[in-house]
Amino acid sequence: MTDIWFEEQDGSADYIPQEPLLRCIRAELHWDAQAKLEDSFCQLAELEHQVDQLCNQYSQIHQRLDKLLDAFYTQWLFSGSDQDVAEYLLNSVCYTLKMRSGSPTALALVLSHLLQRGGFDAQMALSQGEVMVHVAISNDEGYLIDPNSGQQSWYITPENEKEKQEEPLELVLGDEAVKLYLAQQKWAFIAVDKFSHALSCVELLMDLIGDDPYERRDRGYLLNQLNCPKMAKEDLQFFVDECPDDPAIEIIEHQIAELADHNNILH
């Protein structure tokens, strides 16, 4: 395993973007300095080894997929959770690898990674707003898998419907998968007032997408919660300047006025 991460993108021709699951594991260290990434990578390596062994036994593609899904859900016991566990833990791929339970996004990241290891064209996808795993068997057929349960739906696109049909789902590839993961973690941390953790997510998101006004808005909110009013005001003003027609603009402007008053009182 190499220690490449977002901020090490220095323009070098040697830089190779890592697979989304590995990047999400490494993200953990940004908000949890005590995270034991070595444990997560060892757990993943053991699962990859079992995938290799299983794939050596089954060459027929549909049978191999069935056996991999059966192993994931009934042998390795991955599943969604209905227990009273904090959302930010269920969202964590490190927690999911350790506890074999997680949110649909965390499960989809792990499952798609292992299916890719098994030779499948598997990607995280959004279908009617739900996180799924898409496995393409050909240009015309494939499977949609519910990451919580492993329930699979097989589809085939008839020749005469190809041009009529819109894409039934949105594939979430590469950076987009990491962005979705970080965004969900950000809101899960905010929900339990873990503002410095959420700020780490915002900073990683901005490493990926640049000076996005909505991330600047969220960073301004978090900086205000962390008693950094001057920087918070700058971020919120940036959002107002960039998105003057946003429905929440009056609320943001009110926050800016309050921050200005706060600064005046301090001085």
Task: Examine the pLDDT at 29 and tell me if it is beyond 70.
Answer: yes
pLDDT digits (tens, 9 = 90+) for 108-162: 999 999 999 999 999 999 998 899 999 999 888 899 999 999 999 988 877 655 5
Average pLDDT score over the chain? 88
pLDDT at 40: 96
Helix pair angle (195-209, 20-31), 10° resolution: 140
DSSP conformation letters of 85-128: --HHHHH-HHHHHHHSB--HHHHHHHHHHHHHHTT-EEEEEEET
Task: Give the integer Cα–Cα distance in Å for 200 and 32.
Answer: 10
Task: Give the integer Cα–Cα distance in Å for 23 and 4.
Answer: 9
Task: Examine the pLDDT at 12 and tell me if it is beyond 80.
Answer: no
pLDDT digits (tens, 9 = 90+) for 51-92: 999 999 998 999 999 999 999 999 999 999 888 899 999 999
What are the structural domains of the chain? 6-172 (3.10.620), 211-266 (no CATH)
pLDDT at 10: 39
Least confident stretch, 70-74, 103-107, 255-259: 255-259
pLDDT digits (tens, 9 = 90+) for 238-248: 999 999 999 98
pLDDT at 48: 97
Mean pLDDT of 188-206: 97
For residue 238, the one-letter residue type is: F
Task: Examine the pLDDT at 216 and tell me if it is beyond 90.
Answer: yes
> Could you tell me the pLDDT band of residue 168, with boundaries at 50, 70 and 90?
low
With a pLDDT cut of 90, the percent of the chain lying above it is 76
With a pLDDT cut of 70, the percent of the chain lying above it is 88
Mean pLDDT of 156-173: 68
pLDDT at 160: 57
Instruction: Note the Cα 78 to chain centre separation in Å.
Output: 18
